[in-house]
């Protein structure tokens, strides 16, 4: 009998959902747009400050995990927990939660990834460093290619260790985010 996702160990989950990279796909932008429209329909306007496509699928031309990362930024004093029920009713699974951040996944099944997979990052304004990082990569092709080379080098060694894969990229991401904030001062502070 097949286990459901909540019964699987982290090791079993990492084998069912390995780190996989693929060439950039133009249709990722459409997947984001359709999902953002759904989110706008189900989340109260008064609570949502901004919905944005983040992560490598939002960077033109680089290899990425075929997972659409979405940042839903709320008003500064919003109660994030009030947004959980509508997201869960739309098929999102809560993966981690703190008073300042909630992470959700959609498209993970007992048989592996669905055709469309989403990671939703619910955060209070101004928790949006990923916007700066995305913009920097999209306007600095050399940096984007360097990031792609790093990801490709990490892919196979960390294929079944998502946390390790993410940790191994952290220093690079931090350094470029600092450069991005210097390049685009105050861009997302409104």
Instruction: Note the pLDDT of residue 1.
Output: 59
Q: Is the pLDDT of residue 6 over 80?
A: no
Quick one: DSSP state of residue 3? P
Q: What is the dihedral angle through the alpha carbons of 168, 172, 175, 176, rounded to the nearest 10 degrees?
A: -140
> Which residues of the chain form beta strands (DSSP E)?
48-54, 68-74, 93-97, 101-109, 112-124
Domains (ranges, CATH) in the chain? Answer: 8-183 (3.30.460.10)
pLDDT confidence of residue 12: 82
Nearest CA to 151 out of 53, 21, 59 is that of 21
pLDDT tens, 175-187? 999 999 999 999 9
Can you give the pTM of this predicted structure? Answer: 0.94
Report the pLDDT averaged over residues 133-149. 98
């Amino acid at each position: 009998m097949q286990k459901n996702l909540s019964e699987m160990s982290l090791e079993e989950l990492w084998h069912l959902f390995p780190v996989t990279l693929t060439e950039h796909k133009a249709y990722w932008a459409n997947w984001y747009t359709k999902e953002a429209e759904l989110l706008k329909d189900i989340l109260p306007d008064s609570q949502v400050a901004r919905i944005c496509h983040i992560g490598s699928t939002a960077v033109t031309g680089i290899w990425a995990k075929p997972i659409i990362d979405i940042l839903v930024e709320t008003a500064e004093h919003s109660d994030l927990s009030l947004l959980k029920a509508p997201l869960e009713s739309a098929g999102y699974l809560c993966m981690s939660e703190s008073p300042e951040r909630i992470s959700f996944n959609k498209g993970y099944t007992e048989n592996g990834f669905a055709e469309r997979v989403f990671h939703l990052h619910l955060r209070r304004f101004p928790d949006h460093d990923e916007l700066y990082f995305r913009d920097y990569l999209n306007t600095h092709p050399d940096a984007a290619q360097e990031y792609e080379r790093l990801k490709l080098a990490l892919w196979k060694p960390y294929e079944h260790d998502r946390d390790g894969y993410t940790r191994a990229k952290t220093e690079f991401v931090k350094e470029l985010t600092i450069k991005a904030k210097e390049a685009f001062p105050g861009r997302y502070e409104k």
